[in-house]
Amino acid sequence: MKLTTLDDWLSGPEAQANPIRGRRVFVRADLNVPLDSGRIVDDSRLKASVGSVKRLCTAGARVILASHLGRPKGERVDSLSLAPLAPAFSERSGLPVTFVEDCVGETAATAANALGEGEVLLLENLRFHRGETQNQPEFSRALATLAELYVNDAFGTAHRAHASTVGMVAHASAAAAGDLMLDEIQHLSAILRPERPLLCLLGGGKVSDKLGALQNLAERADILAVGGAMAYTFLAARDEAVGNSRVESDRIGEAQRLLDRAAAGQYELLLPTDHVVSQTLDGSGESKIVRSIPAGWMGVDIGPETAARYAAAAHAARTLFWNGPMGIFEIEPFAKGTEHVARAVADSPATSVVGGGDSLAAVNGLGIGNRVGHRSTGGGASLEFVQGLELPGLKALEQ
């Protein structure tokens, strides 16, 4: 993969021929931060996006900064306005940031043209227009008219072929990958070229979300360890008791094939051997640790023996990737399995990568996030990248 970088623009031979100073640069960032009535709950994505914008502004660029926030489905949703992020970005970057209440059209163009060197214009939520997620050519062109140069620093959206990540790129006179994008690619590439053994720990709420990923990861991993609700579909495939646990019956066949390939020795597939079960999902009722899930009970976390087995696998791994909590970790009595695994990932000498909003919340909540090798800002994007899949946003930058 050969991508043009900010280094190429700012210090390479291109920099002399084509200086950045005074030019309008469209920066697609991922400022999709969790908001609670306008208050930023977690600013990691915001902070991670500062670096590239700062370098461009220092070089005298006029930066037009764009992002999506949430899923407004093509219409204006006031609670998903990017307006509160303008002062927040300014505070974290020390740059002057103004906000414009649309991302295309007359107002956006006027604001972009009025921008001075080293200044930032934050556009309103890209997804207030249907053309963004539908990658409509007219919308792509409209975005592209705002700037001459294009930078994609939104790793978290690189797996989506949207107007701001793919459609508009061809209209720019030059396009580059931002620093965050490059950092993510560099760290995640360790999973594609692993020191062995490579362990992939996968969990979360739905097997259908991640079954495809498991199938692809099975091609490269030495050990797959499955937790979360995904595990029960595998137990059902082995005809084990699952009680009322969340099972996706239409996926049992695929789970069966993954078990068969493991039995044939292609990789090791670890499944829970004990479980935390409960009759209610909100933590209000009784919970207990069992080997076999009784009728009327549901699996809500991996049991302590399973957590210890997965932790041992994490310690023995040379490379490891984790996506998806091991149980309903938001509920305190069901969080122990995820916590045990999170600590093992942090303590492991392996090159480690954690992706996924909930998995990161679990690690960060324990205060051990800085001991993980790499915390990816992209959940879905990192999961696709480590499978060796081509991300549309990266492909567009290569062309």
Looking at the annotation, which residues are catalytic? Answer: 45, 206, 357, 380
* Of residues 290, 258, 372, the one with CA closest to residue 323: 372
Angle at 341 between CA 337 and CA 347, to 5 degrees: 150
Give the number of C-alpha atoms closer than 13 A to the C-alpha of residue 115, restricted to the C-beta side.
35
Distant-in-sequence, close-in-space partners of 330: CB < 8 Å, separation ≥ 6? none
Structure tokens at 239: 């005809």
Please, which residue, 19 or 357, has the CB nearer to Mg ion? 357
Nearest distance, CB of residue 325 and Mg ion, angstroms: 8
Considering only 74, 197, 333, 357, the residue that binds Mg ion (CB under 5 A) is 357
Nearest distance, CB of residue 220 and Mg ion, angstroms: 23
Considering only 209, 222, 339, 358, the residue that binds Mg ion (CB under 5 A) is 358
Is residue 156 near ligand ADP by the rule CB under 6 A?
Answer: no
Considering only 330, 347, 365, 369, the residue that binds ligand ADP (CB under 6 A) is 330
Nearest distance, CB of residue 34 and Mg ion, angstroms: 11
Please, which residue, 203 or 303, has the CB nearer to ligand ADP? 203
Inter-axis angle of helices 207-220 and 379-386, nearest 10: 30
Please, which residue, 105 or 294, has the CB nearer to ligand ADP? 294
Is residue 183 near Mg ion by the rule CB under 5 A?
Answer: no
Is residue 135 near ligand ADP by the rule CB under 6 A?
Answer: no
Nearest distance, CB of residue 320 and Mg ion, angstroms: 19
Window 343-362: residues binding ligand ADP (CB under 6 A): 356-359
Window 19-38: residues binding ligand ADP (CB under 6 A): none
Structure tokens at 66: 């764009």
Please, which residue, 279 or 364, has the CB nearer to Mg ion? 364
Nearest distance, CB of residue 224 and ligand ADP, angstroms: 16
Neighbours of 195 (CB within 10 A): 11
* Of residues 204, 188, 254, the one with CA closest to residue 388: 188
* Of residues 299, 212, 291, the one with CA closest to residue 255: 212
Considering only 209, 254, 339, 384, the residue that binds ligand ADP (CB under 6 A) is 209
Task: List residues bridging with 185 in a β-sheet.
Answer: none
Nearest distance, CB of residue 228 and ligand ADP, angstroms: 4
CA distance 395 to 295: 49
Q: List the single partner that 303 binds among ligand ADP, Mg ion, none, CB under 5 to 8 Å by kind.
A: none
Distances (CA, A) of 59 to 9, 98, 331: 10, 19, 48
Closest chain position to Mg ion (CB)? 358
Considering only 52, 323, 348, 377, the residue that binds ligand ADP (CB under 6 A) is 323
Nearest distance, CB of residue 309 and ligand ADP, angstroms: 17
The answer to whether 109 and 149 have CB atoms below 8 angstroms apart is no
Window 229-248: residues binding ligand ADP (CB under 6 A): 229, 246
Query: Can you give the length of the chain in residues?
Result: 399
CA distance 236 to 232: 6
Q: Is the peptide bond before 72 cis (omega within 30 degrees of 0)?
A: no
Applying CB under 6 A, the site for ligand ADP has a residue count of 20
Please, which residue, 203 or 392, has the CB nearer to Mg ion? 203
Window 197-256: residues binding Mg ion (CB under 5 A): none
* Of residues 227, 191, 192, 130, the one with CA closest to residue 350: 191
* Of residues 209, 174, 156, the one with CA closest to residue 165: 156
Please, which residue, 228 or 393, has the CB nearer to ligand ADP? 228
Please, which residue, 151 or 326, has the CB nearer to ligand ADP? 326
DSSP 267-309: SEEE--SSEEEES-SSS-S-EEEESSPPTT-EEEEE-HHHHHH
Considering only 167, 299, 303, 392, the residue that binds ligand ADP (CB under 6 A) is 299
Query: Residue numbers of the site for Mg ion (CB under 5 A)?
Result: 357-358
Query: Residue numbers of the site for ligand ADP (CB under 6 A)?
Result: 203-205, 209, 228-229, 246, 299-300, 323-325, 327-328, 330, 356-359, 379
